[in-house]
Amino acid sequence: MRALIVGISGVMGRVMQRLAGQNDFYIVAGCDSKTGISALRQVDCDVVIEFAAPSATHDTLAYAVKNRIPAVIATTGHSQSRTEEIYAAAKEIPVFFDSNFSLGAAALAAAAKTVKKLLPSADVAIVETHRAGKKDAPGGTAKKLKAFLGNDADIFSVRLGDERGRHDVIFSLPDQALVLTHKALSREAFARGAITAARYVLDKGAGLYTMENILYDA
């Protein structure tokens, strides 16, 4: 699988480079968020993977649609209008878009939905912990969990050190509590998830795909 990486000079771009050459995954071209994909000439690739700033996504989608190749959008922090652009592109090409590309986080969301049904009277809180430099708070994963669990679920955001990403979903009942936790131990969890997502959409038709598709198709 030949990938074009948008955001190749960023933290996740460098992680992707470390994984290149493994399991038939190759990076054939890349650009950073500031330069953008529009600066590249046409690249012979199978998929575009974006780990970049939200401002890069417009050009990434335009490139993917123009060249009729799948796009994996692993960038977070999009505005509503930018998110709508992603949905629009998915009507023309396969687009894999999620707030968290670790399979464990997808399983956490599925488990939390099940617990919510089993314990409908429980008070619910989501605690998300990320590195000190993460700009969006709450992050996309916490927002997604809240959407699954209902508006009565409170979100508490912590920005601390170099935390890779931890999410706790707390169900509180009288005299007891149930806590579901997912913790990323390495950024490779997200990079490997993006590669898995890229493989998943290679043979798919136009549409919007998420980690739940991989989880339930496994």
Angle at 123 between CA 121 and CA 126, to 5 degrees: 140
Q: What is the pLDDT of residue 137?
A: 85
Q: What is the C-alpha to C-alpha distance for residues 203 and 83, in angstroms, rounded to an integer?
A: 23
Burial (CB count <10 Å: 0-12, 13-18, 19+), residue 121 = exposed
Between helix 103-118 and helix 140-149 the angle, nearest 10°, is 30
CATH number of 103-183: 3.40.50.2300, 3.40.50.300, 3.30.420.40, 3.30.360.10? 3.30.360.10
Catalytic residue among 58, 113, 116, 134: 134
CATH of domain 2-100+188-217: 3.40.50.720
Give the start-to-end residue ranges of the domains of the chain. 2-100+188-217, 103-183
Is the Cα dihedral 51, 200, 59, 26 positive or negative? positive
Active site residue 113: no
Tokens 């629009």 map to which residue? Answer: 88
Q: What is the pLDDT of residue 152?
A: 84
Per residue of the chain (218 residues), give pLDDT as tens: 999 999 999 999 999 999 999 999 999 999 988 877 877 878 899 999 999 999 999 999 999 999 999 999 999 888 999 999 999 999 999 999 999 999 999 999 999 999 999 999 999 999 999 999 887 789 889 999 999 898 789 999 999 998 989 999 999 999 999 999 999 999 999 999 999 999 999 999 999 999 999 998 86
Active site residue 134: yes
